[in-house]
Structure 1
């Protein structure tokens, strides 16, 4: 499932591709992927422009000149592609937004969605989300205080969108590895030093992953050399049976809080 780095990469790239470009039409082949009737969806978007691109947690926000916002959550298996009909990947498209000869294709929205949200509703929709990892008000001390009061495991804590927003299975494991902590550790058991290490690792891993284009396996457009660049840099996620890049021990997989998790039991404590 796309996480903060993947959606932030999309936000940055789409800002230069579609912002202020006139929408000339839409096509919806799966009505359940949107929250209004397809005809109304077309009326709301046709002739409009995206004023700016935003992101909140794992949601991508298309802020329209009309005041509405398109809220995208790709969920598991969702991707996007921008290009001509000839360049479109051989994948099933649930929603298409057209800009003349170019189109933004929303692919794999079987679980994900693209909703039209009216002015004033966006804040309510996002109200239950926790702070962003790079929120200026979230410093090491505040992070440590919040973490110390949590039950469960580091894994369940980091992927809880009500605690910290934007982190999922992949980056929770990568963050724990960077901090030298096993994802099954109880948050309350961490020392102050370990909490600070986890905070620093969270920001470091997410920053590098975003700069490297995240781990998505499909380019956003023909010639896109950035998207997916972090995939080969993952140090533990999906590397079961491979040697640890830090100590050489074997990476293992274990279900932690009912979620698949990867770690090195030799150098993560």
Structure 2
């Protein structure tokens, strides 16, 4: 599932492609991917200029000239491609936004969605999200203050979108590895020093993820060499049975809250 770095990468690249462009056509192939009558959706979105593209947690917000917002959550299996009809991957497309001869294809939106909201609805939909981990205002003191209110396993807390917005299965594993803390550890057993390490690790891993284009392998457009660059940089995520790059021990996998959890049993304690 795309997480904060993947969606930030999408945001940055799409700004270069479609910011200030007008949506010339809308194609809905799966009505469940949107939140209203397809004809009304098309009528509201078509001929609108993309004023801005923002990210909040794992969501992208396409802000339209008419003050409406297209709120995207890709969920598990969702991704996007921008290009011409001849460049389009041979995959099922649920929604397509056209910009002349180029199109933005939304692929794999079986669990994800592209919903249309007015400003108050958008604010309401995002109201339960926690702070953005990379915001300058989110200081170490703020992080520790929030962590002090939590109990239970660290992994579960990092995945809680009301605690922090945008961290999922991949980056929670990588953050814990960089901090040298097992994701299975109980928060009450993490001392002040390790809480500071966790904060620094979170900032560093997420920034590296963005800089490397995230871990999703499908390119956003033909010739895109950035997207997916973090995939080969993962130290523990999806590497069970392989040797730890730091100490050589075997990476293990464990289930926490029905989620696969990866860590090095030697480097992390």
Q: Same fold (TM over 0.5)?
A: yes
Aligned pairs, how many?
Answer: 269
**1:65-80 to 2 correspondence within 5 Å?**
65-80=65-80
CA distance in 2, matches of 1:207, 1:8: 10
Instruction: Name the residue aligned to 1:267.
Output: 267
Q: Distance in 2 between matches of 1:124 and 1:188?
A: 32
**TM-score, reference length from structure 2:** 0.98
Equivalent-residue separation in structure 1 for 2:121 and 2:92 (angstroms): 30
1:2-13 equivalences under 5 Å are 2-13=2-13
2:89: which partner in 1? Answer: 89
TM-superposed deviation, 1:120: 2.1
> Where in structure 1 are there 5+ consecutive unaligned residues?
none
Instruction: Give the SS at the match of 1:104.
Output: strand
**TM-score, structure 1 normalization:** 0.98
Cα distance in 2, alignment partners of residues 34 and 52 from structure 1: 20
**Displacement of 1:136 after TM fit?**
2.6
**C-alpha displacement of 1:46:** 1.2
DSSP-derived class of the 1:97 partner = strand
CA distance in 1 between partners of 2:29 and 2:267 (Å): 49
The corresponding residue for 1:35 is 35
* Equivalent runs, 1:146-185 vs 2, <5 Å: 146-185=146-185
In 2, Cα distance between the equivalents of 1:2 and 1:42? Answer: 26
Which residue is equivalent to 1:127? 127
C-alpha deviation, 1:144, in angstroms: 1.2
Deviation, 1:139, is 1.1
User: Do the aligned residues in 2 keep the contact of 1:2 with 1:58 (CA within 8 Å)?
Assistant: yes
Q: How does 1:217-236 map to 2 (within 5 A)?
A: 217-236=217-236
Which ranges in structure 2 are unaligned for 5 or more consecutive residues? none
